[in-house]
Amino acid sequence: MNFTTLIGLIKKIVDICFVWIVIYYVLKNIRKNVKFSMIFKGIIVVILIKIISDYFGFVTVGLLLEYVITWGPLALIIIFQPEIRTALEQLGKANLLGRHKTLTVNEREKVVTELGVSLEYLRKNRIGALIVFERDTSLLNYIEKAKKLYAELSNELLCSIFFPENPLHDGGVIIQGDKITCAGAVFPTTVDMKFSKRLGTRHRAAIGITEESDAIAVVVSEETGRISVAIGGKLNYNLSIDEVKLMILEELMPKSETFIVENDEEEDDIDEIN
């Protein structure tokens, strides 16, 4: 094998790896976005019907599907232009190395403690609230349209923002690291039909923002005072304050630190066995 052949082989391997990376991120975004999931399922159904029609010789069905397959991509681009634009924007905003401030153990505990005190007050007084923690995916698009604060996270500030007489209480709060970046933020609501129609706007907005990003959304129901947490498009409903604090603490923990903690626990287990 000469040098030219080796270079050609390396190029082919890199080319294949690049294609697989693109496919991986496309499927990852499809899984996170409900609308894209529905489109993907529809495309699969059309392809399956086309294969069946060709196998059994259904001429009319096959001819119609030929038109669908030929002009379908153009129609999808026109119809779902806003969703495609959003996906491209999220791709540009995503940072593979992480962009949010990595909190220390003490900072995370302080954030969770202040959040817990606030949730207790909001729950008891039946005050609705939507609190969103930004992680690797930037929420700058929502921050720009909201009222910017960039203030230290505190129980007093959170409770005052969501007080019914406050003009910003209807929107959501975005937290970056240990700072409240903005208030009055408006988020997209989920269109996933699996969720109950009885869910309010806050809960649907919490699910919606976690479908489009890796954010964590905490919701307090105005009607029942129940607390819920949305992560990855899934809603954990009616949680206790301790459950919420533990969940937020775990989700804000850096992956490297989680690995170190797990290793430490394993070493302790080994020491005990010995």
More confident residue, 80 or 149: 149
pLDDT at 83 (0 to 100): 63
Which residues 6+ apart lie within 8 Å of 188 measured at CB? 205, 208, 209, 212
Which residues 6+ apart lie within 8 Å of 31 measured at CB? 37
- Tens-digit pLDDT profile for residues 214-233: 899 999 999 999 999 999 88
- Tens-digit pLDDT profile for residues 165-182: 888 888 899 999 899 999
Model pTM score: 0.64
CA 35 to chain CA mean position, Å = 14
Q: Residue 84 and residue 127: Cα distance in Å, rounded?
A: 36
Q: Residue 203 and residue 229: Cα distance in Å, rounded?
A: 9
- Residue 31 predicted with pLDDT over 70: no
Where does 105-253 sit in CATH, by number? 3.40.1700.10
- Residue 87 predicted with pLDDT over 90: no
Domain positions in the chain are 3-93, 105-253
Q: pLDDT band at residue 21, thresholds of 50, 70 and 90?
A: confident
For residues 87 and 125, is the Cβ–Cβ distance under 8 A?
no
Structure-token pair, residue 266: 């394993």
More confident residue, 62 or 220: 220
- Tens-digit pLDDT profile for residues 124-141: 999 999 999 998 888 888
Which residues 6+ apart lie within 8 Å of 119 measured at CB? 129, 218, 220, 227, 241, 244
Q: pLDDT band at residue 266, thresholds of 50, 70 and 90?
A: very low
